[in-house]
Amino acid sequence: MEDRTIVILYGSETGCAQDIAENLSRQARRRQFRTRVFAMDDYDKKFWRFLLRKNLPQDILSDLDCAVIGLGDSSYRNFNYPSKKLYKRLLQLGANMLIERGDCDDQHYLGIHRVDGAFIPWAKQLWEIIMKKYPTDLPILSDTVLLPPTYRAEWLSDSPSESDTRTEGFDMTVVQNTRITATDHFQEVRHLAFSCPAHYQPGDIAVMMPQNVREDVDLFLEQMGWSEYADQYIRFVPEEAHGVPLTMRFRDLFIRHLDIFGVPRRSFFEVLSYFTKDENLTERLREFASPEGQEDMWAYCMRPKRTIAEVLFDFKPVEIPFDYLLDLFPQLKPRSFSIASSLSVHPHQLELCVAIVKYKTKLRKVRRGVMTKWLATLNPGDTVSGVKIMKGTMNLPPSLDIPLIAIGPGTGIAPMKSFIEERIALGALENYLFFGCRYHDKDFHYRKLWEFYQDKGLLKVFTACSRDQEEKVYVQDRILEQSSLLWDLIDQKGAKVVLSGNADKMPDQVAYAFKQVFMKEGKLSAKESEDYFDLMVKTGQYQEECWS
């Protein structure tokens, strides 16, 4: 912080951290601070490399005033680990922490998405400290005052050059898009294959930008009275010098960039309140944006999963200046998918295994995930743009002689497919797969492939079809059944264990099953079993990649 300038950095996958960062930015602007907001990936990389350097003087950041708040879920083992690590490192280098690290917890009774239990009091205390240290004679702007937009909208008479509209990343072309679960199964899971110009390793992740379906967007534009602008080009010029202009067709703004069918966060109601034409509606929106109105907002919006488009319909009439579109609507966020293929087996191709999100709300309305709804509509020949490859949290054993124990219930099978295909292509013989599903005949993903490998003696498969018998059976049960085999593979042969799937209860239950194996077969005490497992995690012999 210098000359009343605040830099706010965030790391966000779901958009919640970005929402809080932009919330803090608006609070700072109301207190007459100049603010800059960056995703950590977009900020100066030298700074992060600098933080990681060893043997730095302990007072090298003594001139830096800063604060850290983390967002997470305390039901996970590594709750808010990145923010804790950053906070500790900043302290080690002498940074002046204005306030104790904040921890927003999804288990809080108000929940992380209601911004919320921990954030509101933390931010209030932070601003009290900052304003004492950095006073100003200028007035603090009331929440009823509309701040200037961060971008200025300009309509273009001609279509822009290609350089004005291109996206980062590479393009892929759809080769195959097939449902792989039975048609009478409740869950639709699809296998997608793309022609891919990029190189990737087994265990890598494809990062893709979602799109809203055009037909849905056209209905939204009609609802808003914006259909006449659909095919015109618009440019958004940042009011601050550090921003980048954005140019696109108006319809594409809502197809490719703005999340109009997601569930809004508190900040949406805050900004929307300036654009309603009915004082009663304005008051209602401000209640939803206030700390006191969080329960009402939860009941109206979060619990029934109302979308932004539905909220706008409920609060008509609204008149939203085009300058404020990027301040009001949240941006679509990239989604990450474990790659389900090996380049050794599928040259110049990338495959995914994707569960299509579909559920009913308390309003009895069917909801579909924005990303998976769009993926399900793709046909061979369609182009997917802006794809990036990232390293995952798992990798192959360092040697083909080291056995692989792959555990992948449900769509957690995706990275296991990439590992097993690669291993078998390179000649590895000891490969073990534990797969969990509901029914052998309905959602046993890639069953024929596993049977082919097993018939060749290249793979041993243990399946847990939980609903095929009266008593439910899961992958952790199969692990306990194979305790002797697994102990020998792990303790005598140094087998590597990789686990992927839903992060709810499964990872902890699998870990507990392995600890029971260690106690039974290795004659270890409970403490020794915990230590043995912890050492596997520390050395990378046990790796997992799970999601909520």
- Residue 384: which residues within 8 A CB-CB, separation 6 or more? 171, 172, 173, 174, 194, 208, 378
- Report pLDDT for 291: 78
The rounded percent of the chain whose pLDDT value lies above 90 is: 76
Residues 22 and 123 in one domain: yes
Q: Which residues are annotated as a binding site for NADP(+)?
A: 411, 466-467, 472-476
Residues 96 and 24 in one domain: yes
The 10 Å CB-count burial string (b at 16+, else e) for 54-93 is eeeeeeebeeebbbbbbbbbeebeebbeebbebbeebeeb
Asked if the model's pLDDT at residue 536 lies above 80, the reply is yes
Distance CA 493, CA 403 (A): 7
Q: Which domain holds residue 123?
A: 5-133
Residues 269 and 365 in one domain: no
- Range 13-36 average pLDDT: 89
Distance CA 341, CA 376 (A): 19
DSSP 8-state assignment for residue 41: G
- Report pLDDT for 162: 57
Distance CA 377, CA 234 (A): 27
Asked if the model's pLDDT at residue 345 lies above 90, the reply is yes
Q: Which residues are annotated as a binding site for FAD?
A: 335-338, 547
- Report pLDDT for 241: 60
Give the 3-state DSSP-derived string for 100-114, with helices as H, strands as E and coil as C.
CCEEEECCCCCCHHH
The rounded percent of the chain whose pLDDT value lies above 70 is: 95
- Report pLDDT for 303: 86
Write the pLDDT tens digit of every residue in 184-200. 999 999 999 999 999 99
Residues 203 and 323 in one domain: no
Distance CA 37, CA 4 (A): 14
CATH for 424: 3.40.50.80
Q: Which residues are annotated as a binding site for FMN?
A: 106
Asked if the model's pLDDT at residue 256 lies above 90, the reply is yes
Residues 482 and 445 in one domain: yes
In whole angstroms, how far apart are CA 233 and each of 162, 166, 491? Answer: 13, 14, 63
Residues 354 and 498 in one domain: no
Question: Token pair of 388, please?
Answer: 């990036």
Write the pLDDT tens digit of every residue in 219-250. 999 999 999 999 999 999 998 766 678 899 99
Alpha helices (H) along 134-256: 162-165, 214-224, 250-252
Contact 414, 339 (CB under 8 A): yes
Asked if the model's pLDDT at residue 365 lies above 80, the reply is no
- The neighbour count for residue 162, using CB atoms within 10 Å, is 7
Residues 300 and 378 in one domain: no
CATH for 380: 2.40.30.10
Maximum C-alpha span of the chain: 79
Instruction: Read off the pLDDT band of 366 (50, 70, 90).
Output: confident
Asked if the model's pLDDT at residue 182 lies above 60, the reply is yes
- Report pLDDT for 111: 47
Distance CA 532, CA 112 (A): 34
Residue with more model confidence, 1 or 531: 531
Q: Which residues are annotated as a binding site?
A: 106, 335-338, 411, 466-467, 472-476, 547
Put simply, whether the predicted model's pTM sits higher than 0.85 gets the answer yes
* Structural domain count, the chain: 4
Asked if the model's pLDDT at residue 363 lies above 70, the reply is no
Contact 4, 319 (CB under 8 A): no
Instruction: Read off the pLDDT band of 358 (50, 70, 90).
Output: confident
CA 226 to chain CA centroid, Å, is 31
Crossing angle between the packed helical segments 526-539 and 506-522, to the nearest 10 degrees:
120
Question: Token pair of 424, please?
Answer: 């078998």
Q: Residue 310: in which H helix or E strand, if any? A: helix 308-314
- Range 69-90 average pLDDT: 84
Contact 437, 409 (CB under 8 A): yes
- Range 31-48 average pLDDT: 84
Asked if the model's pLDDT at residue 112 lies above 80, the reply is no
Instruction: Read off the pLDDT band of 281 (50, 70, 90).
Output: very high
Residues 461 and 535 in one domain: yes
- Report pLDDT for 175: 98
Which candidate, 3, 146, 126, 21, places its Cα nearest to that of 71? Answer: 21
- Range 239-267 average pLDDT: 89
Residues 503 and 382 in one domain: no
Across 31-35, 81-85, 194-198, 357-361, least confident range:
357-361
The chain-wide mean pLDDT, for the chain, equals 92
Asked if the model's pLDDT at residue 115 lies above 50, the reply is no
- Report pLDDT for 364: 73
Across 106-120, 343-357, 389-403, 413-427, least confident range:
106-120
Residue 507 counted as domain residue: yes
- The neighbour count for residue 295, using CB atoms within 10 Å, is 11
Instruction: Read off the pLDDT band of 53 (50, 70, 90).
Output: confident
Residue 149 counted as domain residue: no
Distance CA 257, CA 511 (A): 40
Question: Token pair of 323, please?
Answer: 């300058």
Q: What is the CA radius of gyration of the chain?
A: 26
Instruction: Read off the pLDDT band of 367 (50, 70, 90).
Output: confident
